[in-house]
Structures are given as C-alpha cells and as structure tokens.
Amino acid sequence: MTGSNKFRLGVLGSGKGSNFAAIADACAAGQVPAEVALVLSDVADAGILQQARDRKLPAEFLAPGKFRTKLDEEAERVCIARLQAAEVDLVVLAGFMRILKGDFLRAFPQRVVNIHPSLLPAFPGLEAWRQALDYGVKVTGCTVHFVDQGIDSGAIIAQETVPVLDGDTAESLHGRIQLAERRLYPAAMAALARGQVLVRGRQTVRVA
C-alpha cells in the first residue's frame, strides 16, 4: 500500500526526458492531479533518470536483456513487477524506444499511453520528424495515444499540429515538435488522471 490516493504514473523512457520533466513539473505544480510513482529506463545513463533524481523521484535502470528493439522475457517480467509494486494507475511511455507487446499490455490493459512525434497515422516508427520532412508535408505535429499490439497504432487521445517551415532541418523541426509535446502530454495526462477520457473501440471521447 502506498497510502496515497493520487493517480500514480509509472514512466518509461530511453532518452533525455524532456517529456517526463514536463509531466513531473506539471504534477508538482498541481496542473496534473497525479504523481510520478516510478521512472524506469532501459539506458543506464539516460537523461530521464537524472531528471527524475534531480526531482527526488524514484528512478531505476532496467537491464533490457539480449534484444535491441524489445525487452527480453526476464526484463519484461521485472518491468511489470516494478510497476505493479509501485501501484501505478497508468504507464506513460516518454521516449521509450522499445516495443511493448503481449504480456506487458495484458498486465496493464488500456493503461499504457505513448507520445509520438507525428500526426498519426502518418509516419509511425522511428524519427517521425525526419520522415515528415523527407515526405514534404507542410504540417506535422505530435500524438498522444493508447498503446496496442501494433506500432504507434492505438486509439488517439490528443494531437497538436506543428507547421513545417521552409528551411527546416530535421533538428529544427524536431525541436518545435518537442515544444508542442511538452504542452500536449501534460494536458492529456490531466484529462486521463481526472477520468475524462473514455475509450470506445478506436475512438476516445472527452467528458467533462
């Protein structure tokens, strides 16, 4: 038992942790009625772990095992056990670069969300901002969605558009998308924590 009745977030990330920092700071400021219960990273020196430690939040490295694109069986078992022990209400993927399937999703049914740096269903997969630039679209953005068995294919919760500007590089475009992510993810998290997001198949509906 945690003794806390706040909505509890378990955050998984592999990178610098700017999305995590935005969510953690919005929780601390009372803009999101939730608390970060645990941060796990498959990368021992990932910025997200330092961001968590700087905020005195529990953070652990999770040895991913022998595969490059997913957790191995033992790592997945440990990951599920850590999140369950932390009594998380929602698993938040924040730049977590491994695919989670089967057993993990069954352990947290409809309770895993992700942010993706494009307007899904356009440009799923890696480096979505670069895919958008190479394709030549004039508008891209970011998407918060539930995680299902596919790649970036679960029901969409929220999206924000970002224009592609003449002269954009992959880096400049990704930077602007990340600014949008830092607005969108905490706002979506607040709606989820308040129980305002209902799922009906592929559709999500906001209730007051």
Contact (CB, 8 A) for 153 and 186 = no
Asked whether position 154 contacts ligand GAR by CB under 6 A, the answer is no
Asked whether position 98 contacts ligand GAR by CB under 6 A, the answer is no
Which candidate in 8, 98, 116, 182 is catalytic?
Answer: 116
**Cα 9–Cα 11–Cα 12 angle in degrees, nearest 5:** 155
| 202 DSSP 8-state letter | T
Asked whether position 13 contacts ligand GAR by CB under 6 A, the answer is yes
Supply the minimum distance, in Å, between the C-beta of residue 120 and ligand GAR.
Answer: 10
Supply the minimum distance, in Å, between the C-beta of residue 102 and ligand GAR.
Answer: 19
Contact (CB, 8 A) for 79 and 10 = no
Asked whether position 145 contacts ligand GAR by CB under 6 A, the answer is no
Crossing angle between the packed helical segments 18-28 and 47-54, to the nearest 10 degrees = 20
Q: Count other C-beta atoms under 10 Å from residue 132's C-beta.
A: 26
**Beta carbon nearer to ligand GAR, 20 or 108:** 20
**Beta carbon nearer to ligand GAR, 76 or 181:** 181
Asked whether position 116 contacts ligand GAR by CB under 6 A, the answer is yes
Supply the minimum distance, in Å, between the C-beta of residue 198 and ligand GAR.
Answer: 24
Supply the minimum distance, in Å, between the C-beta of residue 167 and ligand GAR.
Answer: 21
Catalytic (active site) residue 116? yes
| 164 DSSP 8-state letter | P
Q: Count other C-beta atoms under 10 Å from residue 58's C-beta.
A: 14
CB-based burial of residue 156 (10 Å sphere; 0-12 exposed, 13-18 middle, 19+ buried)? Answer: middle
- The catalytic residue positions are 116
Interacting residues with ligand GAR (CB under 6 A): 13, 15-19, 48, 94-95, 115-117, 178, 181
